[in-house]
Chains A and B, each alone.
Chain A
Amino acid sequence: DIQMTQSPSSLSASVGDRVTITCRASQGISNYLAWFQQKPGRAPKSLIYAASSLQSGVPSRFSGSGSGTDFTLTISSLQPEDFATYYCQQYSDYLWTFGQGTKVEIK
């Protein structure tokens, strides 16, 4: 299985901060990488697919980049509603795997 490793596991930030989360794949996955946001007690929400394409309705302050094994999710200006846990996920092969999650907390 392809292992996905996110860093950091958690971070504290203030409203208006630029936030970057990293996701590394154990082998090359081209750009078959998605990002999700999950708030406590809620279902995940799809943010990005194909490493950098925004899902419909996702604010433009979210962006993704990367290819191969190293990827990033950036929130350009953190908003109050962005405090949540973020997951990456690879879909390069048919054994899809998620990262362990990054919790973004209020500083």
Chain B
Amino acid sequence: EVQLVESGGGLVQPGRSLTLSCTASGFTFGDSAMSWVRQAPGEGLEWVGFIRSKTYSGTADYAASVKGRFTISRDDSKSIAYLQMNSLKAEDTAVYYCSKVIRTWGKYYFETWGQGTLVTVSS
């Protein structure tokens, strides 16, 4: 069974940094792309970014709202995807979900989601 468990959320002051982890099990992590999606309180879903598997370059793409501040990385030996968040703003307050992403015909789509971790940016 595919399982994704996010961790690392909490209260952080504006301008500070925080790193989230997504620990995966039940599938060959190194073969999969992974993505992060967030949801501000009472709002809809917002894609944050995703990272390809090393077979397909291992590079990442980001939403404009976080590009330059957030970095997605992966440790295939530990089956963990990371979301490093720098220069945090109040508007980054959200539940952050990681997702296993399926690649088919050069396109990627979401499959399984973690339960999410709450990040609150406030002084």
Chain A contact residues, CB within 8 Å of chain B: 1, 32, 34, 36, 38, 43-46, 49-50, 55, 87, 89, 91-92, 94-101
Chain B contributes a number of interface residues (CB within 8 A of A) equal to 23
- Chain A residue nearest to B115 in the complex (CB): A43
**B interface, over-half SS:** strand
- Chain B residue nearest to A94 in the complex (CB): B61
Chain B contact residues, CB within 8 Å of chain A: 35, 37, 44-47, 50, 61, 63-64, 97, 102, 104, 107-116
Identify the interface centre among B46, B47, B102, B112: most chain A CB within 10 Å of its CB.
B47
> A1 touching B64 by the CB < 8 A rule?
yes
Known: A91-B107, A95-B61, A95-B64. A46 touches B112 (CB 8 A): yes
Known: A87-B45, A96-B47. A46 touches B113 (CB 8 A): yes
> A46 touching B61 by the CB < 8 A rule?
no
Cβ–Cβ < 8 Å partners of B63 in chain A: 95
> B107 touching A32 by the CB < 8 A rule?
yes
Known: A1-B64, A43-B97, A95-B63. A100 touches B44 (CB 8 A): yes
- List 10 other contacts, CB 8 Å, given A44-B113, A92-B107, A98-B47: A1-B64, A34-B109, A43-B114, A46-B112, A50-B109, A89-B45, A91-B108, A91-B109, A95-B64, A96-B50
